[in-house]
Amino acid sequence: MAKSIMLIPHGAGNIGSLMELFHQVGYFPHVAQSPSQLDHVDMAVLPGVGASGSAMARLRETGFADALVRMNERQRPLVGICVGAQVMFDKLHENDCTGLKLLPGEVARINGGEFNNGWADVRLEAQAPARPEAAGMARQKPLLLKTEAKTFYFNHGYQINTGATMQETGYTTQGKKLLAYFVRDNLCGIQFHPEKSQAAGLAFIANTMKHYGF
């Protein structure tokens, strides 16, 4: 039986584009209709464009915020994209609110108020072994290094700042050093837009799915 994948709606997600992205790499997610569905799903994907504060407000209003926390407690894979990655952390300076608090850290304006918009190269920064209790996952392998193309499309004005230990992180290599993606056990955050990153984005998502045993 195929494992279940659900996209989480919060009013500011690029659901259609991500659905097409997953279809292109051979996966067929559904859009979650209620928070209770996350109690039985194998993976959730939290998309996002726009403001992280607005996304969090919507997740709380609909009950998906609590459902995502419960899902994380069960160590089910959660993939956050752009704003979806940002809301995993403690503090969101945009709209001055708290995130899901799945990881320690904050999301603050890029230094100088700049906007990171366009294509940027990404390099692997660090790897560490996964926790022994992170059961049911494939052995940790690089996500990015298996991707021939390492240039991805970004569109954000806020950056993730965290001291959390990750199994793998990637950073932009041009201009300011910005966190591009991270892997920590069942959590994967992607700051760039894989659905806009052409072949590189397709390969990255395919590798992410394989990493989590899909």
Give the active site residues. Answer: 82, 193, 195
75 Ramachandran zone, left/alpha/beta (phi>0; psi -120 to 50): left
Taking the CA atoms of the chain, what radius of gyration do you get in angstroms? 16
The DSSP annotation for 116-184 comes to: EEEEEEEEEEEE-PPPTT-TT-PPP--SSTT-S--EEEEEESEEEE-----SEEEEE-SSS--EEEEEE
71 Ramachandran zone, left/alpha/beta (phi>0; psi -120 to 50): alpha
3 state DSSP class of 61: helix
Separation in Å, CA 165 to CA 16, 17, 67, 104, 162: 33, 31, 24, 10, 9
Sheet of strand 97-98: strand arrangement? 97-98, 89-92, 103-109, 158-161
